[in-house]
């Protein structure tokens, strides 16, 4: 593709905002749209081009807004549709684009479509959701199949009123829409997509996009013998009608030239991923694969111990995502280490010890900036926020995913204290809650998240370490993680052929301590090298580039030493 034909979303850097925790403008302890508007200049100053707003729709908030009651309204504590219109206009007036979360695999059980659907078997909207009769085993009522939900327990909920089960791949309060019904699909496009496209949004992050077509819904193989409910992600993801549904959706998106990035869990088959992101297939512009963020997670993600991974695992995962754009592919890829469903990357992939966290944050920024694809940054990542500590009590974990897991471990072990302590250790490392705490803006009360005179407490406990890590301080500190993000994003833009579009080649997959790879674009070449240890290491020039002239483009450490990498130092060299 010639350089002039590149669509805007390829070189764009996206900044993800979690509305509840970004900025509270009115002191009720909950972030809001006015808070976001007040920080758009800050966001712009980082050097990002696109903002992604997590669900701000009207919702009972069982799953933090991923349970939508009304697509065409805003959750009242966040603001109004008029505030959204202002946010869209203010974002555009700063030269940035704005994308929303599109959550259309399921709605809230309070959505008027579901209220109708569950009201009677002969209701015209009955078929808008997925209803099935019970199975009877030895006279006992059982759900239609053995699938486990993403948040533990069966995916089926019994409805007393109409004596059938409905499907929910997530919480019982998140019934799955029936995409097999053409009328339902049209209603979804109109309400969830066109309503906002007409108001000027530039695209969508498409939640759980590969789950719309569920196939035959047969029993899943038993992989967890201790449970009645079994993992079925490979069955309900990437079903037979996905291609058709996405083609239909694209007829709407095309009219607005809207971009899409689809969330694509449970898809290890790269050929399948390539189909989604191939330009000529016109399914999705790009996807979030789970390869990288799943590194170190257990079979059920929290069934593991902290840092249960090696650098070769991480390299292989990154290679899989990078190879999506390798010639002759006409596809595109993404770069991300964090989002609202992931713990903090410094804690997971480097070290959050006080003496290393800044170096770790800068090195990961450099690594990400050197990878090809659209780059996504999650709020707080740009200042190097880390997980909240072990000393915080279980009551500080607010996410259903965390609390359901902890409860399940309790129930399955008869409240075994050691097992519960193990579960909490895993949550301290991997829970989604770590990304959802209020932003640390300053050292003011509530870390500057809520106004100083507000009496309501923030909805989640603010971090204890705002004195060492906050936006205000880092804005005036040239050696901060924030200052480095600004710099490295400029470097990425200045060398976008190589860094955003170049071919990725890992130069030593097995090295457990050093990550070294090259980027190539039309005869130009760069070398990126990162020291994933907390010790200085000799800089070994890989044999593939030996003899070439190396010009240091950028290092994540000031005053670096020739021939030696400091602890958690990353560098990019131009080769000639």
Q: Which does 433 bind (CB under 5 to 8 A by kind): Ca ion, ligand GLC, none?
A: none
The strand ranges marked E within 194-258 are 203-206
Q: Residue count at the site for Ca ion (CB under 5 A)?
A: 5
For the chain, what is the largest distance between any 2 Cα atoms, rounded to a whole number of angstroms? 77
Is residue 341 near ligand GLC by the rule CB under 6 A? yes
Q: Which does 66 bind (CB under 5 to 8 A by kind): Ca ion, ligand GLC, none?
A: ligand GLC
Tell me whether residue 63 or residue 338 sits nearer to ligand GLC (CB atom): 63
Q: Which two tokens stand for residue 567?
A: 């602890």
Binds Ca ion (CB under 5 A): choice among 9, 12, 14, 32: 32
Which residues from 147-186 bind ligand GLC, rule CB under 6 A? 170
Q: Give the span between the Cα atoms of 9 and 5, in whole angstroms.
A: 12
Is residue 66 near ligand GLC by the rule CB under 6 A? yes
CB 397 to Ca ion: min, Å: 22
203-206 and 97-102 strand pairing: parallel
Tell me whether residue 58 or residue 506 sits nearer to Ca ion (CB atom): 58
Is residue 24 near Ca ion by the rule CB under 5 A? yes
CB 455 to Ca ion: min, Å: 13
Q: Which does 388 bind (CB under 5 to 8 A by kind): ligand GLC, Ca ion, none?
A: none
Give first-to-last CA distance, the chain, whole Å: 24
Tell me whether residue 19 or residue 153 sits nearer to Ca ion (CB atom): 19
Out of 164, 263, 352, 399, the active site residue is 263
Cβ pair 128, 181 in contact under 8 A: yes
Out of 32, 109, 157, 207, the active site residue is 207
Is residue 202 near ligand GLC by the rule CB under 6 A? no
Q: What b/e readout covers 164-194, taking b as 16+ CB neighbours within 10 angstroms?
A: bbbbbbbbbbbbbbbbebeebbebbbebbbb
CB 136 to Ca ion: min, Å: 50
Q: Which does 63 bind (CB under 5 to 8 A by kind): Ca ion, ligand GLC, none?
A: ligand GLC
Cβ pair 426, 305 in contact under 8 A: yes
Q: Give the span between the Cα atoms of 532 and 525, in whole angstroms.
A: 23
Q: Which does 397 bind (CB under 5 to 8 A by kind): ligand GLC, Ca ion, none?
A: none
Q: Give the span between the Cα atoms of 270 and 511, in whole angstroms.
A: 24
CA atoms within 13 A on the CB side of 173: 14
Which residues from 77-106 bind ligand GLC, rule CB under 6 A? 103
Q: Which does 28 bind (CB under 5 to 8 A by kind): Ca ion, ligand GLC, none?
A: Ca ion
Packing angle of the helix pair 417-430, 400-413 (nearest 10 deg): 160
CB 29 to Ca ion: min, Å: 7
Active-site residue 207, yes or no? Answer: yes
225, burial (CB in 10 Å: exposed 0-12, middle 13-18, buried 19+): exposed
Is residue 28 near Ca ion by the rule CB under 5 A? yes
Q: Which single residue is written with the structure tokens 């399955």? A: 412
Q: Give the span between the Cα atoms of 428 and 269, in whole angstroms.
A: 31
- Chain residue at closest Cβ approach to ligand GLC: 66
Is residue 475 near Ca ion by the rule CB under 5 A? no
The sheet that has 131-132: what strands, in order across it?
A: 131-132, 164-167, 156-159
Is residue 208 near ligand GLC by the rule CB under 6 A? yes
Using DSSP, state whether 164 is helix, strand or coil. strand
CB 10 to ligand GLC: min, Å: 23
Tell me whether residue 177 or residue 369 sits nearer to ligand GLC (CB atom): 177
φ, ψ dihedrals at 143, nearest 5°: -65, 165
Is residue 26 near Ca ion by the rule CB under 5 A? yes
Helix ranges (DSSP H) in 260-398: 270-277, 311-322, 345-349, 357-369
Which residues from 248-277 bind ligand GLC, rule CB under 6 A? 263
Binds Ca ion (CB under 5 A): choice among 17, 20, 30, 377: 30
Minimal CA–CA distance to 376: which of 17, 29, 1, 7? 17
Minimal CA–CA distance to 474: which of 518, 432, 441, 520? 441
Tell me whether residue 146 or residue 149 sits nearer to ligand GLC (CB atom): 149
Binds ligand GLC (CB under 6 A): choice among 207, 382, 433, 569: 207
Active-site residue 254, yes or no? Answer: no
CB 486 to ligand GLC: min, Å: 27
Q: Give the span between the Cα atoms of 204 and 105, in whole angstroms.
A: 14
Tell me whether residue 150 or residue 351 sits nearer to ligand GLC (CB atom): 150
CB 35 to Ca ion: min, Å: 7
* Residues known to be catalytic: 207, 263
Which residues contact Ca ion by CB under 5 A? Answer: 24, 26, 28, 30, 32
List residues near ligand GLC by CB under 6 A: 63, 66, 103, 170, 207-208, 263, 340-341
């Amino acid at each position: 593709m010639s350089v002039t034909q590149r669509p805007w979303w390829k070189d764009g850097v996206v900044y993800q905002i979690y509305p509840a925790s970004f900025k509270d403008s009115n002191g009720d302890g909950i972030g809001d749209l006015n808070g976001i508007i007040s920080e758009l200049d800050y966001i712009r100053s980082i050097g990002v081009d696109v903002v992604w707003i997590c669900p701000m729709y009207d919702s009972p908030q069982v799953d933090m807004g991923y349970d939508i009651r009304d697509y065409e309204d805003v959750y009242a504590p966040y603001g109004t549709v008029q505030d959204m219109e202002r946010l869209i206009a203010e974002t555009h007036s700063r030269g940035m684009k704005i994308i929303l979360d599109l959550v259309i695999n399921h709605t809230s059980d309070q959505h008027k479509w579901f209220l109708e659907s569950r009201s009677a078997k002969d209701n015209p909207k009955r078929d808008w959701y997925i209803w099935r009769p019970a199975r009877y085993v030895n006279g006992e009522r059982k759900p239609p199949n053995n699938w486990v939900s993403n948040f533990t327990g069966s995916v089926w909920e019994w409805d007393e009123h109409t004596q059938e089960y409905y499907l929910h791949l997530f919480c019982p309060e998140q019934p799955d829409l029936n995409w097999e019904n053409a009328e339902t699909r049209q209603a979804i496009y109109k309400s969830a997509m066109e309503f906002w496209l007409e108001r000027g949004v530039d695209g969508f992050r498409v939640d759980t996009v590969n789950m719309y077509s569920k196939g035959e819904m047969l029993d899943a193989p038993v992989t967890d013998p201790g449970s009645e409910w079994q993992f079925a992600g490979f069955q309900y993801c990437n079903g037979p009608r996905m291609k058709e549904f996405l083609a239909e959706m694209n007829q709407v998106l095309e009219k607005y030239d809207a971009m899409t990035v689809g969330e694509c869990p449970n898809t290890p088959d790269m050929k399948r991923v390539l189909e989604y992101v191939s330009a000529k297939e016109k399914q999705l512009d790009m996807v979030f694969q789970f390869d990288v963020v799943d590194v170190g997670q257990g079979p059920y993600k929290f069934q593991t111990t902290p840092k249960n991974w090696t650098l070769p695992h991480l390299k292989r995962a990154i290679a899989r995502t990078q190879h999506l754009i390798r010639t002759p592919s006409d596809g595109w890829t993404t770069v991300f280490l964090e989002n609202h469903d992931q713990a903090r990357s410094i804690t997971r992939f480097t070290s959050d010890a006080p003496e290393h966290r800044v170096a770790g944050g800068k090195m990961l920024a450099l690594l990400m900036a050197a990878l090809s694809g659209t780059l996504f940054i999650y709020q707080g990542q740009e200042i190097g926020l880390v997980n909240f500590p072990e000393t915080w009590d279980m009551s500080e974990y607010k996410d259903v995913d965390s609390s359901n897991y902890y409860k399940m471990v309790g129930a399955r072990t008869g409240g075994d204290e050691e097992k519960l302590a193990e579960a909490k250790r895993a949550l301290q490392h991997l829970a989604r809650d770590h990304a959802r705490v209020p932003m640390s803006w300053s050292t003011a009360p509530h870390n500057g998240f809520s106004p100083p005179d507000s009496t309501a407490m923030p909805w989640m406990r603010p971090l204890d370490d705002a004195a060492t890590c906050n936006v205000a301080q880092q804005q005036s500190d040239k050696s901060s993680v924030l200052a480095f993000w600004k710099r490295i994003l400029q470097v990425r833009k200045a060398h976008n052929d190589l860094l955003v579009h170049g071919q990725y080649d890992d130069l030593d997959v097995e090295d457990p301590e050093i990550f070294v790879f090259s980027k190539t674009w039309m005869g130009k070449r760069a070398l990126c090298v990162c020291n994933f240890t907390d010790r200085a290491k000799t800089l070994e020039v890989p044999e593939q580039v030996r003899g070439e002239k190396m010009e240091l483009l950028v290092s994540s450490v000031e005053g670096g030493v020739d021939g030696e990498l400091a602890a958690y130092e990353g560098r990019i060299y131009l080769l000639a």
